[in-house]
Amino acid sequence: MMITEGSAPTERAGRYLKQVLSHFSHKIEVELAEDRGTAVFGAGRAELTATPEALVVRIEAADAEQAATVERVIVSHAERFGEKDGLKFGQFTPVVAA
């Protein structure tokens, strides 16, 4: 199991969380609550959390390659949606690698 986390500083995290998860809800299993949500991809699971300072993403996948795939998908969409505001994710860091 590989778990990684990354974040993008923004004061509009809730907006981007909803936008990203709504986008994927037509294609995959998505759960959305007020300040958090999940998206289940074939390669793994992404949990998004909106804080007052950032959009935080936690990826759970079988291995590093699959985790990187889910990271690319989430980051590319979130950064495209937040391009006007300069939304950028930093490096994802491993939390658990087994």
HEC assignment per residue over the chain: CEEEEEEEECCCHHHHHHHHHHHHCCCCEEEECCCEEEEECCCEEEEEEECCCEEEEEEEECCHHHHHHHHHHHHHHHHHHCHHHCCCCCCCEEEEEC
Domains defined along the chain, listed by start: 2-97 (3.30.310.50)
Q: Burial of 91 by CB count in 10 Å (0-12 exposed, 13-18 middle, 19+ buried)?
A: exposed
Residue 73, both tokens: 């998908």
pLDDT by residue for the chain (98 residues), tens only, comes to 999 999 999 999 999 999 999 999 999 999 999 999 999 999 999 999 999 999 999 999 999 999 999 999 999 999 999 999 999 999 999 997 66
pLDDT at res. 87: 97
pLDDT at res. 98: 61
Length of the chain: 98
* 8 A C-beta contact, residue 59 and residue 48: no
